[in-house]
Chains A and B, each alone.
Chain A
Amino acid sequence: MEATFDSLFLGFSVALRFDVLWYAFLGCLVGTLVGMLPGIGPLAGISILLPLTFGLDATKAIVMLAGIYYGSQYGGSTTSILLRIPGEAASVMTCIDGNAMAKKGRAGAALCIAAVGSFIAGTFGVIVLTLIAPPVAAFALRFGPPEYTALLTLGLIFLAYMSTTSLVRTLLMAALGLLLGTIGIDVMTGHFRFSFNIAELGDGIGIVPVAVGLFGLGELLATPSHQVKGDVTRPRLRELLPTRKEWHESAMPIARGSVLGFVVGIIPGSAHIISSFLSYAVERRVSKHPEEFGKGAVAGVAGPESANNAASTGAFVPMLALGIPTGPVTAVLMAALLIHGVPPGPTLVNDHPNVFWGFVASMYVGNLMLLALNLPLVGLFVNLLRIPYAYLYPLIIMFCVIGVYEVNHSIVDVWIMLIMGVVGYGLKKFGFDPAPLVLGLVIAPIFEMSLRQSLIMSGGNYMIFLDYQQRPIALGLLATSAILLLLSVISSILRQRDWRAKLAQAEAVERQ
Chain B
Amino acid sequence: MDRRSFVAGSAAAAAALAIRPSLAQEVYPTRPVTFINPFPPGGAVDVVARPLASVLEPILKQPVVIETKAGAAGQVGAQFAASAKPDGYTLLMHIMSISGFAEVDKLFGRPVKFTRDDFIPISRFIADPMVLVVNDKQPYKTLKEFVDDAKKRPNELIFSSSGLYGALHLPTALLMKAAGIQMKHLPTAGGGPALTAILGNNSQVLVSSIAASSAQMKAGKLRPLACFGAQRAPAVPDVPTMKELGYNIEFYLWLGMFAPKGTPVPIITTLREANKKAVADPKFQQAVKNLGQDVAYLDQPEFRAFWDLSAKRVEDAVRLIGKVQG
Which A positions have Cβ atoms within 8 angstroms of B? Answer: 43-44, 46-52, 54, 141-145, 185-192, 197, 199-200, 202-203, 268-269, 318, 322-325, 328, 331-336, 338-341, 343-348, 408-410, 449, 452-453, 456-457, 459
Contact = CB atoms under 8 A, between A and B. Distances in A.
B202 interface: yes
Nearest to A329: B42
B70 A408 contact: yes
Nearest to A346: B219
A457 B218 contact: no
Interface string B242-285: 00000000000000000000000000000000000000000000
A331 B158 contact: no
B200 interface: yes
A51 B4 contact: yes
B76 interface: yes
B203 to A, nearest CB: 8
Contact of B71 (A141, A202, A335, A346): A202
B215 interface: yes
Interface stretch (B24-32, B90-98, B138-146, B190-198): B190-198
A396 to B, nearest CB: 20
A322 B69 contact: no
Contacts of B324: 188-190
B71 A325 contact: no
B186 interface: yes
Interface string B91-123: 000000000000010001011010000000000
Given A324-B192, A343-B215, 20 more contacts: A185-B73, A188-B187, A189-B325, A190-B324, A323-B216, A324-B195, A331-B190, A331-B192, A332-B42, A333-B42, A335-B42, A335-B43, A339-B287, A339-B290, A339-B291, A340-B290, A343-B214, A345-B218, A347-B215, A453-B187
B72 A202 contact: yes
Contacts of B111: 197
Nearest to A144: B202
A324 B71 contact: no
Main SS of chain A's interface residues?
A: helix
- Give the top 6 A-B pairs by smallest Cβ distance, nearest first: A345-B215, A47-B41, A332-B42, A335-B42, A144-B202, A346-B219
Nearest to B40: A328
Contacts of B178: none
Contacts, number: 162
A142 B137 CA distance: 14
B161 to A, nearest CB: 10
A187 B202 contact: no
Nearest to A455: B326
A275 to B, nearest CB: 19
Contacts of A185: 72-73
A202 B184 contact: no
Contacts of A322: 199
A341 B50 contact: no
Nearest to A323: B215
B72 A344 contact: no
Contacts of B4: 48, 51
Contacts of A344: 215
B228 interface: no
Contact of B42 (A324, A336, A453): A336
A195 to B, nearest CB: 9
Contacts of B326: 186, 188-189, 452
Nearest to B5: A48
Nearest to B292: A343
A340 B155 CA distance: 41
Interface of B: 2-4, 40-43, 46-47, 50-51, 53-54, 67-73, 75-76, 79, 104, 108, 110-111, 113, 155, 158, 163-165, 184-190, 192-193, 195-197, 199-200, 202, 214-216, 218-219, 221, 286-287, 289-292, 323-326
A328 B47 CA distance: 14
Nearest to A146: B202
Interface centre among B69, B158, B164 (most CB of A within 10 A): B164
A202 B76 contact: yes
A80 to B, nearest CB: 24
Contact of A199 (B54, B113, B158, B289): B113
A170 to B, nearest CB: 28
Contacts of A200: 71, 76
A190 B164 contact: yes
Contacts of B110: 192, 197
B207 to A, nearest CB: 17
B76 to A, nearest CB: 5
A324 B216 CA distance: 10
A203 B189 CA distance: 11
B138 to A, nearest CB: 15
B219 A347 contact: yes
Contact of B165 (A141, A190, A197, A346): A190
A141 B72 contact: no
Contact of B291 (A51, A199, A338, A449): A338
A142 B196 CA distance: 10
A347 B189 contact: no
Contacts of A323: 215-216
A65 B108 CA distance: 42
Nearest to B113: A199
Contacts of A409: 67-69
B292 to A, nearest CB: 6
B155 A339 contact: no
Contacts of B164: 187-190
Nearest to A338: B291
A415 to B, nearest CB: 15
Contacts of A408: 68-71
A332 B41 contact: yes
24 contacts: A48-B4, A141-B196, A144-B200, A145-B202, A185-B72, A187-B189, A188-B187, A189-B324, A189-B326, A190-B165, A191-B108, A199-B79, A200-B76, A324-B199, A325-B192, A331-B192, A333-B42, A334-B42, A338-B292, A339-B291, A343-B215, A346-B219, A409-B69, A456-B158
Contacts of B2: 48-49
B31 to A, nearest CB: 19
B290 A345 contact: no
A345 B217 CA distance: 10
Contact of B41 (A43, A191, A202, A449): A43
A457 B198 CA distance: 13
A447 B48 CA distance: 33
Contacts of A189: 164, 323-326
B253 to A, nearest CB: 15
Contacts of B323: 189-190
B57 to A, nearest CB: 10
A356 to B, nearest CB: 14
A21 to B, nearest CB: 22
A449 B189 contact: yes
B196 A457 contact: no
Contacts of A346: 215-216, 219, 221
